[in-house]
Amino acid sequence: MAKTMTRTAKSKGESAKAEGEAGAMLDDIVQRAKVAFEERSLRFTQLREQVFSEIASTRGSIGAYEILDRLSEKGTRLAPISVYRSIDALIEAGVIHRLESKNSYFACRRHEHGRKGRPIFMACEQCGGVVEVPAQSIFDQVAELAKSADFTPKVKFMEVSGTCAACRDKAGSKGD
Ligand SMILES: [Zn+2]
Ligand SMILES: [Zn+2]
């Protein structure tokens, strides 16, 4: 009996700790977003922060209407246009990206786009997780090919869909 109680208390403590860590990580990401806005002389309004927090706390990516729903559950009722405007500002500041294939958004986890070049997005079809991989040479090649075809490209980002390591390992262990 005493043993069970100890175990319950421990696991409760651990989950509270995990939640605390996730919260601290979110604070950190929000803080970095705030700095990114300041560097571009843009205003990190309360609404922008709220929208960003919803995107940043999502594993994978989230659509505009899901953001609306989550905010309204928390008591902030907004018109879709307000959310879209915030999303535009967040994209402009470079703190979120749009996943074209899913028409959804995810928080940027890399902070050296300028140094390492533009990334391609590797999006997991199972869990929705997105990894950004520096791939400037691919963009350079596209620009070169476009030039040889006398074409003006408008490529901002590139996406590759597939399966992340965690989902691949999960699928592998299921087959055992
Ligand atoms: Zn990024
Ligand atoms: Zn995955």
Q: Is 96 helix (H, G, I), strand (E, B) or coil?
A: strand
Complete domains list, the chain, with CATH: 1-109 (1.10.10.10), 110-176 (3.30.1490.190)
Query: What's the token pair of residue 92?
Result: 């402009």
Gap from CA of 19 to ligand 1 centroid (Å): 25
Q: Which residues surround ligand 2, an ion (CB under 5 A)?
A: 124, 126-127, 129, 164, 167
Per-residue pLDDT of the chain (176 residues), as tens digits, is 444 444 444 445 555 666 677 777 888 899 999 999 999 999 999 999 999 999 999 988 999 999 999 999 999 999 999 999 999 999 999 999 999 989 999 999 775 666 677 889 999 999 889 999 888 899 999 999 999 999 999 887 899 999 999 999 988 776 55
Provide φ and ψ at 106, rounded to 5°: -145, 155
Distance, CA of 138 to CA of 127 (rounded, Å): 26
Asked whether the beta carbons of 109 and 102 are under 8 A apart, the reply is: no
Apex 47 CA angle, 123 and 73, nearest 5: 75
| Ligand closest to the CA atom of residue 129 | 2
